[in-house]
Structure 1
Amino acid sequence: MQIIVKKKDPAIILSIHGHFNAGDAPEFERIFNQHLDAGERRFVLNMAELTLINSAGLCSILATAKKIKERDGNLVVCALQGEALKVFEISGFTALFSLYPTEAAALKQV
């Protein structure tokens, strides 16, 4: 997995590329914690290039979302598609997160 981070007002955008599994969770959480500790509170998780996610990846996203919410922040998800979208749907995550078709749409709502 590769994570590309960029700042685009009003949020930090994290673009996930490739497979998101147990081995990737610590790095994912470290990056989010770094930005939370720096005072950032609005995040967009762009999953346009996410090819697959397993339960460990889902748990990592859920744990991160909880931390963000505890700090009065917001995390939205965009561009989820294919197998990754199916995993989100089957696991019930589509009911837990605000999903947007594009990064631009997500930035308007974060």
Structure 2
Amino acid sequence: MALNQIEEGGVVILAVDGNLDGEGTQTLEDTVVGLLEDGTTKLLFDFSGLDYINSSGLRVLVLAYQRLKKNSGTVAICGVKDYIQEVFEVSGYDKIFPLYPTRTEALGAV
């Protein structure tokens, strides 16, 4: 897994490439927790390069959502491939997280 972090218009974007499982999940969780502790309130996960996500990867998303919701923050996801979107739909996470086709659309909404 590769993780690229940038900030655009007050939104921290975490672009995740490859597979989000095992060690990659821990890296993402550490990054997310650090951002939240530093006061980040708008977080966008760009999954356009993501090929696989397991339950521990989904858990990191929920962790971000729960912590940001308490502080009136926002979590959004963009660039989800069809087969990964099915995981979100089956798990009901598409009801929790706003999903956007592109980063531009997500930034416009967040």
- Normalising by structure 1, we get a TM-score of 0.92
- 1:69 corresponds in structure 2 to 69
- Over the residues paired in the alignment, what is the CA RMSD in angstroms? 1.2
Q: Distance in 2 between matches of 1:70 and 1:27?
A: 23
The number of aligned residues is: 110
Give the 5 Å matches for 1:1-110: 1-110=1-110
**Mean Cα displacement is larger for which, 46-55 or 56-65?**
56-65
Q: Distance in 2 between matches of 1:11 and 1:30?
A: 18
> How far 1:24 moved relative to its partner?
2.2
Give percent identity, aligned residues only.
Answer: 26
Q: Distance in 2 between matches of 1:21 and 1:83?
A: 16
SS in 2 for 1:40: coil
Q: Distance in 2 between matches of 1:52 and 1:25?
A: 11
**Mean Cα displacement is larger for which, 41-50 or 57-66?**
57-66
Q: 1:10–1:107: 8 Å Cα contact kept in structure 2?
A: no
Which of structure 1's runs of 4+ aligned residues deviate more than 3 A? none
SS in 1 for 2:39: coil
Q: Which runs of 5+ in 1 are unaligned?
A: none
Q: 1:6–1:13: 8 Å Cα contact kept in structure 2?
A: yes
> How far 1:12 moved relative to its partner?
0.4
AA aligned to 1:20 is: L
Q: 1:76–1:97: 8 Å Cα contact kept in structure 2?
A: yes
- Normalising by structure 2, we get a TM-score of 0.92
